[in-house]
């Protein structure tokens, strides 16, 4: 049951997020090269039109690979050749979908739209306060949890029932939405910041230069994931 709950959790967190990017990208005319759920080796691939749809082995992650997202492209339909508002709409769509999932799950869990919205607001406020304590050092970085910790939390909710699992989904969805909107390289918020900076700076920053910054940010993000995953493993055994 732990495995089942964990898979359901990751599906509810990741798929809607990437689907949000995908839907808006298609709506504004951006070419999507691949839409993938999961990371690692592909276990299923299907090409339809200009997009390859894939399911990958590890259900922790996913991506919507758009043409010209991190490199220069002459394609008129590339991400880099869209208007600033088009880019921002695509980038914010992932977090918006996570917020929507949080409200929907809270509503189903508490069987009331009003109570669901209030629960989402309460958990969102709690998350912002926790983030503030993390930034100010009141909460150590070692308290962060990664995929292993999330799976462990999903397993604990098995013993308490669907209300607790629903709360976990809401909290994790809000977490993903807020974290992705932080103005840091490789995150959606960081990409939005670059859209604004490049609107002001003009052609002085190229797609390639921006891609390099996001590449460095991604490496740092992966390093953080390794760090929190190690902490999760240590906590499991201690």
Active-site positions read 18
The string of DSSP codes covering 2-54 is HHHHHHHHHHHHHHHHHHHHHHHHHHHTPPEEEEEEEEEEEEEEEEETTEEEE
Of how many residues is the chain composed?
238
Q: Residue 75 contacts by C-beta under 8 Å, 6 or more apart in sequence?
A: 31, 67, 68, 81
**CA–CA dist 178, 189 (Å, integer):** 9
The SS3 call for residue 57 is strand
The SS3 call for residue 63 is strand
Strands (E), the chain: 32-48, 51-66
Residue 50: other Cβ atoms inside 10 A: 10
Q: Of the candidates 8, 192, 214, 186, which has an alpha carbon nearest to the alpha carbon of residue 96?
A: 192
Structure-token match 């880099």, residue found: 80
Phi, psi of 75 (to 5 degrees): -65, 125
């Amino acid at each position: 049951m732990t495995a089942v709950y964990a898979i359901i959790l990751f599906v509810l967190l990741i798929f809607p997020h990437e689907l949000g990017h995908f839907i808006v990208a298609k709506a504004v005319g951006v070419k999507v090269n691949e839409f993938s759920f999961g990371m690692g080796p592909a276990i299923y691939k299907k090409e339809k039109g200009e997009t390859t749809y894939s399911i990958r082995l590890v259900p922790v992650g996913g991506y919507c690979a758009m043409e010209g997202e991190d490199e220069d492209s002459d394609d008129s339909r590339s991400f880099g050749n869209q208007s600033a508002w088009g880019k921002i709409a695509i980038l914010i769509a992932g977090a918006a979908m996570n917020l929507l999932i949080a409200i929907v799950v809270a509503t189903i869990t508490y069987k009331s739209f009003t109570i669901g919205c209030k629960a989402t607001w309460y958990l969102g406020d709690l998350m912002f306060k926790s983030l503030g304590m993390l930034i100010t050092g009141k909460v150590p970085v070692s308290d962060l949890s990664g995929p292993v910790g999330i799976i462990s939390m999903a397993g604990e909710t098995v013993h308490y029932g669907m209300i607790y699992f629903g709360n976990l989904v809401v909290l994790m969805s809000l977490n993903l939405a807020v974290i992705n909107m932080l103005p840091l390289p490789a995150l959606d918020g960081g990409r939005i910041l670059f859209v604004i900076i490049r609107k002001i700076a003009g052609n002085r920053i190229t797609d390639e230069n921006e891609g390099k910054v996001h590449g460095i940010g991604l490496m740092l993000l992966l390093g953080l994931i390794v760090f929190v995953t190690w902490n999760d493993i240590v906590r499991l055994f201690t």
